[in-house]
Amino acid sequence: MNTLFEYLVRLGDDSLILGHRLSEWCGHGPILEEDIAMTNIALDLVGQATSILKYAGEVEGKGRSEDDIAFLRYEREYKNALLVEQPNDDFGVTMMRQFLFDAFRKPLFEQLTQSSDEQLAAIAEKSLKETKYHLKHSAEWVIRLGDGTDESHDRVQSALNDLWRYTDELFFTDEVDADLEAKGIIFSSEELKASWSEMVKNVLNQATLTIPDNGWQHDGGRRGLHSEHLGYILAELQYMQRAYPGMEW
Amino acid sequence: MAELNIQELERRFQEKIDNDIRIEPNDWMPERYRQTLIRQISQHAHSEIVGMLPEGNWITRAPNLRRKAVLLAKVQDEAGHGLYLYSATETLGADREETIDDLHSGKAKYSSIFNYPTLSWADMGAVGWLVDGAAIMNQVPLCRCSYGPYARAMVRVCKEESFHQRQGFEIMMKLAAGSEEQKAMAQDALNRFWWPALMMFGPPDADSKHTAQSMAWKIKRNTNDELRQQMVDITVPQAEMIGLTIPDPDLKWNEEKGGYDFGEIDWDEFWNVVKGNGPCNKERVEARRKAKENGEWVREAANAYAAKQKMKKAS
Ligand SMILES: [Fe+2]
Ligand SMILES: [Fe+2]
Ligand SMILES: [Fe+2]
């Protein structure tokens, strides 16, 4: 197995699928400023997906472009975490999903800027700048909603309760990670989890929210085993490429 | 006495206008000038925001990553335009939320073009090329509008609109040079958007009730028909260049006037859509109304949180 290719697909798919979810909000945000912010974050994520999947294609060496990889795989070949494919639901769910994800991606990109793989380090450098802004934005909203009104508190608490079961998967590792870690391309997932936990506890505390004690955690995304939601995302994402195969746009 | 003063103020105001001196928010202005501007700028703001919907409709289905990113960036710009324009109405004393409520109640209008559906990817091309193209033609003269904040907002907006127009034309160009299916898709989009795009300049001069006063106040610099003619003259050669056919059998170059003669616009259709009977009027307003309604708890939370923070700081 080409472990670097596999890793890049996991990383790129997280950006691709979350970018897709956020762009579903376009024109429907709770305030105009948030329409702008969410579109902007979606745009960053699509940009990340583009550079990561382009590099994945190069690493694979079979002549696939970033678009071939993004649009022309079957469902089981997508490797995003289950968290990012969860539906937008209300703004509280969207912001909580974003916060739990951003709090993972920031320390991840920080680590990856030190990667022995120069290309990956460069991608991480650029993505880190964007992710810092995303995290600031989502953390501020989690705090505002958590410590806002009773209604907003309840809504965002219930978002946390629902999404918490998808958080462990962000730190999923298998032989892919072990191989790349041994090569100095990626770094310890335990350290990552420690930074994530600290950030999450700190923000949820300010937001007066409680981490649910529901211990069960789902996984499968990294091995291509998804929730039912992904199929519908792909039906939209791939529509043009499937309906008009082999054309240029 | 007061009467005389008003007359004097109006005289000075018109003198400024005639000398191309910008009117700024704190300057005295006739109430009708203020109301005309609030109406026009808020309609413009609503158009930017409602205009996000037909294009937002294709972001998740964009055919490749580059097109997806460009479309996202474009729609994000439109939200930004809406934001500066709502701010410009606030400099005239309007309230943003009340202005938005007028849109939702159907009292305020927005550009009718956005009541047409986007049915294929080629519509992203046609909208950028024709709709943003027409918007530029309408808005370039507004950069010289007598009201300072509006004129300045338009300078910024126009720069972005020209990127929007180009990305749309580029989509069309690519389709027109593509497969049979792609060409057909592009032609169909042009067929559906051509006439509504020409209607974007508003009713013929003879029926335009606001034109004369707006021109005297230099809010408007060209008549509807002048701008429409300009649009036709610029767009026809572009269509020819990429091998698409303008859906107008009466279109003909007129050597004498140095412009194209074109067919009769179906003004019944125009007024019908203005009245609310376009294919998507109901959906567009409904989508915006729902966005506001679903966002109510979010805005309340943000206000409550801000109030708590303020209290904490004070104590
Ligand atoms: Fe615009
Ligand atoms: Fe505009
Ligand atoms: Fe535009």
Rounded to two decimals, the ipTM of the complex is 0.97
B209 falls in which pLDDT band (50, 70, 90)? confident
Kindly give the distance from the C-alpha atom of residue B136 to the centroid of ligand 2, in angstroms, as a whole number. 7
Q: Which ligand is nearest to the CA of B135?
A: 2
Kindly give the distance from the C-alpha atom of residue B78 to the centroid of ligand 2, in angstroms, as a whole number. 7
Q: What per-residue confidence (pLDDT) applies to B3? A: 63
Q: Which ligand is nearest to the CA of B161?
A: 3
> What percent of chain B has pLDDT above 70?
99
Interface probe with A: pick from B46, B305, B308, most Cβ of A within 10 Å: B305
Which of A45, A111, A109 is CA-nearest to residue A80?
A45
Interface probe with B: pick from A16, A31, A32, most Cβ of B within 10 Å: A32
Q: What amino acid occupies position A55?
A: Y
Q: What per-residue confidence (pLDDT) applies to B282? A: 95
- Name the A residues in 105-164 with CB < 8 Å from any B CB: 143-145, 147-149, 151-152, 155
Domains of chain A from N-terminus onward: 3-243 (1.20.1260.10)
Q: What per-residue confidence (pLDDT) applies to A215? A: 77
Q: What is the pLDDT of residues B76-109, one digit of tens each?
A: 999 999 999 999 999 999 999 999 999 999 999 9
Whether A72 and A241 have beta carbons less than 8 Å apart is answered as yes
Contact yes or no for B298 and A244 at CB 8 A: no
CA distance to partner chain B, nearest, from residue A17 (Å): 10
- The answer to whether the pTM exceeds 0.90 is yes
Kindly give the distance from the C-alpha atom of residue B137 to the centroid of ligand 3, in angstroms, as a whole number. 12
Report how many Cβ contacts below 8 Å link chain A to chain B: 137
Range B156-181 average pLDDT: 96
- CA distances to A87, B66, B75, B197, B283 from B58, rounded to whole Å, are 18, 13, 11, 20, 16
Q: Is residue B255 classed exposed, middle or buried when 0-12, 13-18 and 19+ CB atoms within 10 A define those classes?
A: exposed
Q: What is the pLDDT of residues A117-162, one digit of tens each?
A: 999 999 999 999 999 999 999 999 999 999 999 999 999 999 999 9
Contact yes or no for B305 and A147 at CB 8 A: yes
Scanning every residue of chain B, which has its alpha carbon at the shortest distance from the alpha carbon of A30?
Answer: B295
A80 falls in which pLDDT band (50, 70, 90)? very high
- Identify the residue whose tokens are 């300009």: B230
Scanning every residue of chain B, which has its alpha carbon at the shortest distance from the alpha carbon of A46?
Answer: B69
Using alpha carbons only, give the angle B273, B278, B281 rounded to the nearest 5 degrees: 105
Whether B6 and B29 have beta carbons less than 8 Å apart is answered as no
Given a cut of 70, is residue B151 above it in pLDDT? yes
Write the CB contacts of B177 (distance below 8 Å, at least 6 apart in sequence): B242, B243
Contact yes or no for B305 and A144 at CB 8 A: yes
- Name the A residues in 9-38 with CB < 8 Å from any B CB: 20, 23-24, 26-36
- Neighbouring C-alpha atoms within 13 Å toward the C-beta of A102: 26
